[in-house]
Structure 1
Amino acid sequence: MLRTVAAVVMDHVAPFELGVLCEVFGLDRTADGVPPIEFRVCGPRAGAPLRTSVGMSLVPEYGLDGLDGADVVTVPACQIRDSYPPEVLAGLRAAAARGATVLSVCSGAFVLGAAGLLDGRRCTTHWYHAADFRRRFPTAHLDPDVLYVDDGDVVTSAGTAAGIDACLHLVRRELGSAAATTIARRMVVPPQRDGGQRQFIDLPVPECSGDSLQPLLTWLQERLDTEHTIADLAERARMSPRTFARRFVAETGTTPNQWLVTQRVLHARRLLEDTELGIDQIARECGLRTAALLRHHFRRVVGVTPRDYRRTFSAAMSSA
């Protein structure tokens, strides 16, 4: 059911993520055929001003009693901290216990985790906070690659705008595709986006923990368009192929072939962002030879096709 939605806000709430909840659930769209939704903004105390993350204040109309009877209880992003108000955590636990669906946007997942609502559950949060999240909530099953996770009565979204995807998904699940499409059209966003948040992650260049192979790795990065065999690389490193393969894994954490594939995908990302080269030429420039092979490895590493990635991130296209 999606008749009443409550948003839980605390000090240092993020206005954009709260705004996403307001936009999807808080506006009257009955004239467009969307069923009415009662929307409540609930703070620790009704009428008590709260600071936001950007130097302005908001005054929630409801206290935590506004969670009573809500079909969906949402938690927008807020400042990640060591502890959250106990009464807020208790309110979230009580809402979940009586059967409400709980939804978090971005770092709001940390609040759900602190309430114990993600123990043993599939979930996500902003990729930037994934390591911190895993450290704090080791029993949660975090997937940092997706835009949102629907685990039944718990829905979590990735960073910032991914909250739109999660909210529209919940509307689609509870009210049907027509309602979700209508809201998306009014918001001028796609009803459902392709890919996950992997496409937005700044993939680090695989590092080398030792000095013995660093000159070889630098040499390889300058020759990604060339075929390299293990035997040739081992000879260049003055090692036997078996010793070279073992040393490579020890110093980089991955195999020579996988290291090269990742480097080539990273180079392809840069070419897709900064040039107007065709996909076939980019495949040759980065050493993946064919467009089909580029698409295969690019989608596996980044999560979307090269064409979709360029559509989103190309500086050349956006300046045209």
Structure 2
Amino acid sequence: MGNLHRVVVLALDGVYPFELGIPSRVFGAAAGLYEVLTCSVDGRPVRTNADFSVTVEHGPEVLRTADTVLLPPFDTSLLSRELPAGVAEVLGSVPTGARLVSICTGAFVLAGAGLLDGRSATTHWALAETFRSWFPQVVLDPDVLFVDDGDVLTSAGAAAGVDVCLHLVRKDHGAAVANQVARACVVPPWRDGGQAQYIERPVPEATSHGTSATRQWALENLHDPLTLGELADHARMSLRTFARRFSEEVGLSPGRWLIQQRVARARHLLESTDLAVDDIAGQVGFATGASLRQHMHTAIGVSPLAYRRTFRGTAAAPPEAANV
């Protein structure tokens, strides 16, 4: 067990039961890679925001052994600028270098402890105004699903907690493992952290002609340039109607969505094949290897070869290493 990445979940009074269970469900599906421990501030049972309480197996001492600490959300009626009793003390025991993660209102705790000062973060869109007024020193982006700021990650509510946990699995162990976890949990394998967390009309009207068939067609033809005009023609819509409806359904512009899908496909090929970077670029629709490098660096902060070394453990760089 000592070699497993230890995720410690700190349950506070008023915790939401659904989100409390997300870490165990997601990280637990990555068999043999993580262990998830749940604790409370004093080791005692924690009341939830539902009509029951939960008994945790651990007290705050396990926070001293954490590789990742995760704060699930708690009832908004309990929000305060001041930290709940005992929280500052137990967070102070978290080891230097441990990763901190919050879901929804958990960001208020990190901010209240000063752990988000000067950093980018997010929380549930409905709480953005309150968060900004209480913590102006935090660079809040309320329009995204999650923010990865290195050793501190914050996410929006409910399903965004699944997204950020899957993102961490992908970050730690690559797309193949994350996809296996997603299949085991029967959830989408990847929603980009920059995707909108609130879409005014997320599901098209029953009588409307959606863009899902065109998205599937695009995925089957990622190797082609795929202009907006071609996508609109396939959907049999005008450019304006297609772009509007696409954004309503997906939460991203067609161009941004295409880049996201191409980077995801490139990551899979880097993990599963020995293809040169230029060849992978061609297969996923980027004009050149340089374009792939630029988009990967923007998306995940590393070059294709660095990514391949991380997730395939290559002892030596492939022949195209000079093109990093």
TM-score range, shorter chain: 0.5 to 0.7
Number of the residue aligned with 2:57: 61
CA distance in 2, matches of 1:133, 1:139: 10
Number of the residue aligned with 1:167: 165
Give the residue type in structure 2 aligned to 1:38: E
Give the residue type in structure 2 aligned to 1:131: E
Number of the residue aligned with 1:44: 41
Gaps of 5+ in 1: 203-268, 280-289, 307-320
Deviation at 1:2, TM superposition (A): 6.4
Number of the residue aligned with 1:272: 204
CA distance in 1, matches of 2:208, 2:198: 20
* Kept after mapping to 2: 8 A contact 1:24/1:183: yes
Deviation at 1:107, TM superposition (A): 1.2
Alpha carbons of 1:278 and 1:164: their partners in 2 closer, same or farther (altered >3 Å)?
Answer: closer
CA distance in 2, matches of 1:102, 1:20: 15
Moved more, 77-86 or 162-171: 77-86
Q: Residue deviations 1:216-271, cap 9 Å, x none?
A: xxxxxxxxxxxxxxxxxxxxxxxxxxxxxxxxxxxxxxxxxxxxxxxxxxxxx599
Give the residue type in structure 1 aligned to 2:119: R
Q: 1:71 aligns with which of 55, 64, 67?
A: 67
Partner secondary structure for residue 103 of structure 1: strand
1:19 aligns to 2:21 (yes or no)? yes
Number of the residue aligned with 2:251: 303
The share of aligned pairs that are identical, in percent, is: 45
The two structures have a TM-score, normalised by structure 1, of 0.63
Instruction: Write the mapping of 1:173-188 to structure 2, written as runs, cut at 5 A.
Output: 173-188=171-186
Partner secondary structure for residue 276 of structure 1: coil
CA distance in 2, matches of 1:271, 1:118: 34
Number of the residue aligned with 1:262: none
Instruction: Write the mapping of 1:19-168 to structure 2, written as runs, cut at 5 A.
Output: 19-25=21-27, 27=28, 29-30=30-31, 35-46=32-43, 48-80=44-76, 81-82=79-80, 83-95=82-94, 98-168=96-166
Alpha carbons of 1:149 and 1:116: their partners in 2 closer, same or farther (altered >3 Å)?
Answer: same
CA distance in 1, matches of 2:121, 2:240: 31
Q: Greater CA radius of gyration, 1 or 2?
A: 1
Give the residue type in structure 2 aligned to 1:178: A
CA distance in 1, matches of 2:135, 2:66: 26
Deviation at 1:125, TM superposition (A): 0.8
* Kept after mapping to 1: 8 A contact 2:210/2:245: no
Deviation at 1:6, TM superposition (A): 0.1
* Kept after mapping to 2: 8 A contact 1:17/1:163: yes
CA distance in 1, matches of 2:176, 2:144: 24
Q: 2:239 aligns with which of 282, 286, 292?
A: 292
Partner secondary structure for residue 273 of structure 1: coil
* Kept after mapping to 1: 8 A contact 2:42/2:60: yes
Instruction: Write the mapping of 1:225-264 to structure 2, written as runs, cut at 5 A.
Output: none
* Kept after mapping to 1: 8 A contact 2:9/2:70: yes
Partner secondary structure for residue 200 of structure 1: coil
Alpha carbons of 1:150 and 1:66: their partners in 2 closer, same or farther (altered >3 Å)?
Answer: same
Partner secondary structure for residue 136 of structure 2: coil
**How well do the aligned residues superpose, as a CA RMSD in angstroms?**
2.9
Give the residue type in structure 1 aligned to 2:207: T
Number of the residue aligned with 2:12: 10
* Kept after mapping to 1: 8 A contact 2:41/2:90: no
Give the residue type in structure 1 aligned to 2:83: Y
Gaps of 5+ in 2: 212-236, 255-324
Deviation at 1:193, TM superposition (A): 1.8
CA distance in 1, matches of 2:203, 2:23: 36
CA distance in 2, matches of 1:199, 1:62: 33
Deviation at 1:294, TM superposition (A): 3.2
Q: Residue deviations 1:133-169, cap 9 Å, x none?
A: 1111111111111111000000111111011110010
CA distance in 2, matches of 1:94, 1:40: 16
Alpha carbons of 1:79 and 1:142: their partners in 2 closer, same or farther (altered >3 Å)?
Answer: same
The two structures have a TM-score, normalised by structure 2, of 0.62
